[in-house]
Structure 1
Amino acid sequence: MKRIFVVATLVFSLVVSLVHFQTAVQANGFVDVPDRAAKEVNYLAERKVANGYSSSIFGSTRTVTRAEAAAFIGRALQLNGTQRNTRFRDVGSGHFASGYIQSAVERGILSGYGGGYFRPNQAVTRGEMAVMISKAFGYSYGGSLSGAARALLSRGIANGLEDGTFGASQRVIRVDFAVVLARAMNPAFRSGYTVDPRLSNQVVIIDPGHGGSDPGASGLGLNEKDVVLDTGLRLNELLKQTPLTVHMTRTNDTLPSLADRVNFAKNRGGNVFVSIHANALNGSATGTETYYYSEANTNPHVADSRLLAEKIQRRLVMAWHLRDRGVKQTSKLYVLKNNSMPAALAELGFIDHPEDNQKLRSDYWRNAAAKAIYYGIIDYYNEKGYDVDALYDIAR
């Protein structure tokens, strides 16, 4: 009887120890990721760009397949990952990466092989990875593996091998692909990364218009408040990857008053204020326009407000390909007039116009708008004399 009790006690202790061990493992993340890659892998995992095989196993040393590469890159670029039919006979609609594969091919990031095959299970080499990343993030590489390798090496995104080569023909493992992808997404992970220290003192305020009981403009089953909040949240994620401090006047379906928005910006020491809206005019108008306050009697930052508006407008028109309605002065618009910092208000498009509405309701085009506004803000700081070169890669 005593022996049975001792055995039972030991078994119970072992079970408790195992439970404690498993809990600790899950709390600390992936146990198979080396220290050199922990920050990059955690960065991708937090953003749901790269998944592990379980809560504790990332599969660091497994080779990356073409399907996995498509999914990683697709999530990083926020491409449409909805499972669907593809142009390839070996990637059916039920394949986990079918949506990302099709989207990446449509964007010219990936391509297939003769006979209509994609070869989703084929291992990716380091050279192929370099080409994929260069295409995905818009790096000029001259159309060759060596050019793509140089594009990554010169930016501190990838490292060479100990023998001094890039190892283009070697298969790439998941942890190394993750490191390269994270560095492409966020320059802060790159070797030799430097940033203008003055940027850490700059505060950007994002103001998604309307909200709560105020839907804003409506058209074709879409409300302005939802479009601009989603776009603002995407912009927020981009700016959070920079040294800039970023705050949003609302992050959910609430309705701060106009005075609340202005006071919020002032109380947080804002240096730049960007309000995001959508237009409407009986379905008869189309295009993008950006406003700034033109009188110095309340907001004295007229010149910088105009500069900010010009930079954002230029980028939005380039990204959305809608009619350029220009940068416009206003003596109204409370959030511009009563602010104490450079401020601009972007009207993305006309929600009651069919063409504009299709872009306003699209995840892809909202993401494009967020990137455009991001670039506009960075352009503004560049014009003001800040060193922002490294920040342009974040939204690519």
Structure 2
Amino acid sequence: MLQKFVYRISILVVACLFLTSLASKEAYASLKDIPTSYAKEINYLLDRNVVTGYPDKTFGPKLNVTREEAVTMVGRALGYNGKERQTSFKDVPATAWSSGYIETAYQNKLLTKPSDGKFRPKDKMTRGEMAYLIQRAFNLTEKGTVSISDVKASGALYEAINAIVTAGLSNGYPDGTFKPNNAMTREEFALFVARGLNKDFRVSMNLEPIGEAYVNASSLNVRTGPSTSYSVVGALANGTLVTIYKEEGSWVYISAGSLRGYVNQNYLVDTLPTPPTQEPAPTPSTEKIIAIDAGHGGKDPGAVANGLQEKEINLAIALKVEKILKDKGYTVVMTRTDDTFLELSERVDVAVKQKADTFVSIHTNSAANSSASGTETYYSTAALNPRAENSKKLATFIQDRLYKALGTSNRGVKEAGFHVIKKTPLPSALVELGFITNKNDSTKLASEEYRDKAAEAIALGIVDYYNWRK
């Protein structure tokens, strides 16, 4: 019985999102029904060909997924061989489009075979079954203190849910349930797979309070999800004190009395607004004091792949940026100049205490799929204008020069809530030079020639920003 349960849950690992059509990148690049609230995660999977669109250029986010779709998706995420062939299951013929991924998953022990020898490829996947397979697919072993009101705190199902919640792939529903018997949708499953592949998409483990804030708007809508595409469940008046439980991009999950839901944190402030005021713009410095932050360091190596460590790449390029800017007459504040570990809050403190007026953090990207490549730059909207606008400009100037200088693919300027750019009161940007896990990108990141090119591009992007700000 347990073996059958394990099989059922494991195959469901990835069903939710796989699109059975093998549309080209050109086709799925313009999918017309990708939900805006999770566009980053879904496009991340599309970029890596983990999921593809239907021939009519739709994604079908609310459609349920089958077992064969699940295994195919997981197989693509893990780089399995998808060539059609004979399988170990009596109801999956060699001619089935999913046969290669199903057999490879079975050989890799992601699936078990029940006593009747059937796979049941057309059955729907439930959230409980998904939890078991996602745990095995991404080898999630760490367990924490997890309370789910509709799952008994013992047994295989609880252990699987505990693992994915602890890892940050899920935090259940806002009401504290997990709904293990509910069928999965493509949209839901996309989130789990994207979070499994990329830690930047992961969420907080428990719905414990993480802070308080006041509403800074005449009326602030509370929604069922983290975007304006979700329905409104209530509204909060100006000055209302809310409790914050988690963050998702520029949105936060809050409670105020009996009302719970998501609000845009751009309309929250730390102190009671009387009357509501907009965050003042930082006073431009005639000295041009720029803080350069080399990500990671010391006991934290960052991403490691292809014989490289992220912390070393970040520091090498940051030091080159420092020299270029100093030669141009700028004052440069470095959060670290050697292999030292600093907490994220310490990096922000260094910049603020040294009276910097701009902040740039340098990082190197990574992904489970080695085909992921390219350069991207982030800014945060976790502040009222004009800091958010200035941050976007800074990120744009750097990105426009950097990907061209390195000859990498342009992954664009994106918004995210990374601590060092979210918590600093300065206009700020976070650079992802390239993917250390990609052969071509890592070759460039190891090269002194390309490190010089990266440093010059970042420095000139910063100069472009200061010239624009005059």
Range of TM-score over shorter length? 0.3 to 0.5
Higher helix proportion, which one? 1
Taking structure 1 as the reference length, the TM-score comes to: 0.46
